[in-house]
Amino acid sequence: MAVIGYMRVSTHYQKFDSQYQALKDYGVDKIFKEYESGRKSFRNELNKALTILKPGDTFVIFKLDRLARGTKQLLGLLEEFDRRNIHFVSIENSIDTSTPMGRFFFTIMGAFAEMEAELIRERVLAGLSAAKKNGVILGRPPLVNQVNEALELYHNTDMPTEKISKRCGISTSTIYHHLRKEGVYRTKNTTDVLHSSKVLVSSGEKK
């Protein structure tokens, strides 16, 4: 079974010395090294290492922050290793998922990640509830000014609806929705027949 090592630094100015020596002392068969931020979910060298791993292989890192910078990201990788029957070792953290203590660590990590997600959800719901009680209108703000300007142009000019839509920054469907609320409906033949007729009548009245 292969033992694959992975080491990472954020910039080319940093050195791999301590990581490299620890991995060599552990006895890895192949080492992938990467110059990249640990917060990035997609890393070329990490993906290459993950690709060549087979069931029964061991994936070794110097310490946990070399693999991931967040609980969610780390847990996702650990779950992938577990699903693929790949052993995971973090030398500095004394973690080895081929041992009972290592598997216990994996379980604890999952519990903490689940608790973290639940706490975030509770905080969001509490914030929404408090906002509603304080009279805050949630969701996207209503396009009051744009709608009023669009309706004004529709009723008092001969500008086509499409141009009104572009000028006011709202969709034609939004304009027609508010026109329907006023009791103005489009005909089946064309979208602006009613509008055009109305403008002509208005012009005749002015004469």
Please indicate, yes or no, whether residues 91 and 11 belong to a single structural domain of this protein. Answer: yes
85, 149: one domain: no
- Active-site residue, selected from the candidate residues 10, 37, 196, 202: 10
Considering the domain boundaries, does residue 82 fall inside one?
yes
- Among residues 65, 97, 129, which one ends one of the domains? 97
Report residue 200's pLDDT band, with 50, 70 and 90 as the boundaries. very low
Domain of 47: which CATH number? Answer: 3.40.50.1390
Same domain membership, residue 75 and residue 12: yes
Q: Place 192 in a pLDDT band, splitting at 50, 70 and 90.
A: very low
> What are the tokens at 117?
């997600």
Model pLDDT, residue 137: 64
Cα 146 to its chain centre, rounded Å, is: 30
Q: Quickly state the pLDDT bin for 28 (edges 50, 70, 90).
A: very high
Query: Is residue 128 in some structural domain?
Result: no
| 82 and 152 share one domain | no
Tell me whether residue 113 is in a domain: no
Residue 130 lies in a domain: no
- Does the annotation count 10 as an active-site position? yes
Note whether 30 and 2 are within 8 A (CB): yes
One domain, residues 64 and 150: no
Q: Is residue 77 part of a domain?
A: yes
Is 204 a residue whose pLDDT tops 50? no
For residue 13, give its domain range.
Answer: 3-97
Q: How many domains does the chain have?
A: 2
Domain end point (choices 33, 65, 97):
97
User: Residue with structure tokens 């990249």?
Assistant: 36
Are residues 8 and 93 both part of a single domain? Answer: yes
Do 92 and 32 share a structural domain?
A: yes
In-domain check, residue 135: no
The answer to whether residues 12 and 93 belong to one domain is yes
Does residue 176 form part of some domain? Answer: yes
- Residue 58: the pLDDT is 96
Query: What is the pLDDT of the chain when averaged over all its residues?
Result: 82
Residue 114 lies in a domain: no
Pick the residue with more confidence: 161 or 139? 161
In terms of phi and psi (left: phi > 0; alpha: psi -120 to 50; beta: otherwise), the region of 61 is beta
Q: Do 7 and 90 have their domain in common?
A: yes
64-68, 121-125, 184-188 — most confident range: 64-68
Tell me if the pTM is above 0.75: no
Instruction: List the single range of 105-114, 157-166, 170-179, 189-198 with lowest mean pLDDT.
Output: 189-198
pLDDT digits (tens, 9 = 90+) for 98-125: 888 888 877 777 676 677 667 778 888 8
What's the confidence (pLDDT) of residue 187?
47
